[in-house]
Amino acid sequence: MVALVLLPGMDGTTGPRAEFMAALGAGIEPGIEPRVVSYPADRTLGYAELEAHVRAALPQDRPYVLLGESFSGPIAISIAAARPPQLIGLVLCVTFARNPRPVLGSLRRLLPLLPFGLAPIGLIGALLLGRFATAPLLAAMRSTLTEVSIATLKARIDAVARIDVRSALPRIRVPVLYLRASEDGLVPGRCADAIAAAVPQARIVEIEAPHLMLQVAPAAAAAAVRAFVKTLKAISAEP
């Protein structure tokens, strides 16, 4: 049994990934034990502190695949570059190795002043869901955002504005799967291309979805991950 350790997007919660996690076990012979490492919802932790939090939760008794979704991609990249002994594969989902939107850098000083709590859910949905937005998805997103403090969300956006783990990419030795959303309004497609250019063994699979791929296309994303894990098992079984 291979563990699939999912590091969530900026909200850091488990709920929005439930359908994807369920879909991972829908195969005839999945052989995958999915788990999510959730993040503290009321603490303003940066990437270094969250990486330490993740490392403490990694399996020690079985092989595992690490999946970094969006905000968590840099954490997954950093850990994979350190080559932990039980890690056999890396999945990067709609994510980046450096700030995907340079404008965030110039807005960092304004973050404490921005009225995040007053932002219309429709505006946020347009960015994260695009044409895939539905009333249930918007309601679920609104509910998820209420679980995380405004200070925590602002701290995570600030962390994204400053992150750059490109130097870690060439040190990754395990197979890498990048799941790119065809209609991602937040992370440009060039982020996947940059990672693939630095990691020769990386493979990009594009799925028809917005940035919130795991919520909108959980079955397609799960199928791609199951196929990737199956390949990893075949490689490990070779004499």
Closest of 13, 27, 138, 147 to residue 71, by C-alpha: 13
Q: Give the model's pLDDT for residue 100.
A: 92
**Is 183 in a helix, a strand, or coil?**
coil
| Confidence band of 109 (pLDDT split at 50, 70, 90) | low
- Provide the number of structural domains found in the chain: 1
Q: Domain containing 181 — which CATH number?
A: 3.40.50.1820
Closest of 221, 228, 215 to residue 18, by C-alpha: 215
Output the six-digit token pair for 48.
């270094």
Domain interval for residue 152: 2-237
Q: Which pTM was predicted?
A: 0.92
* Separation of CA 195 from chain center: 14
Tell me the per-residue pLDDT of 166-218, one tens digit each, with 9 for 90 and over.
Answer: 999 999 999 999 999 999 999 999 999 999 999 999 999 999 999 999 999 99
> Given a cut of 90, is residue 158 above it in pLDDT?
no
- Residue 52 is given by DSSP the state H
